[in-house]
């Protein structure tokens, strides 16, 4: 291995851009813990549901922004609706 190759940063540091920053995702309404971002995943948004407030929380990894949405209504072919 030449000296030039050994001075380059490892691939893990380049890929993650430094240290991993895990984050706990909390409901913006009731402040209950509803999810966790491990600091590694690049999938955006991370979707978590707060069953106490009946909302869906979207966490955008790139910006660190939280957005809330209403939970979608689930229906079956028989017409029964789940809440």
Give the residue numbers spanning the domain of 57: 20-82
pLDDT at 1: 52
Q: What is the CA radius of gyration of the chain?
A: 19
Taking the C-alpha atoms of residue 34 and residue 25, their distance in angstroms, rounded to an integer, is 6
15 in any annotated domain? no
Digit-coded pLDDT (tens) for 36-62:
988 887 788 999 999 899 899 999 988
List C-alpha distances in Å: 75 to 47, 48, 56, 58.
20, 20, 17, 22
- How many structural domains comprise the chain? 1
14 in any annotated domain? no
Q: What is the dihedral of CA 13, 18, 20, 23, to 10 degrees?
A: -160
* pTM exceeds cut of 0.85: no
Residue 48's nearest CA partner among 33, 63, 29 is 33
70 in any annotated domain? yes
């Amino acid at each position: 291995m030449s000296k030039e190759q050994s001075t380059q940063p490892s691939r893990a540091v380049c890929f993650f851009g430094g240290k991993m920053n895990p984050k706990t995702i909390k409901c913006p309404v009731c402040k209950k813990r509803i999810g966790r971002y491990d600091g590694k995943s690049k999938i955006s948004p991370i979707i978590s549901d707060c069953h106490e407030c009946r909302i869906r929380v979207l966490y955008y990894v790139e910006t660190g922004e939280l957005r809330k949405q209403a939970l979608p209504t689930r229906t079956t072919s028989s017409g029964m609706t789940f809440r």
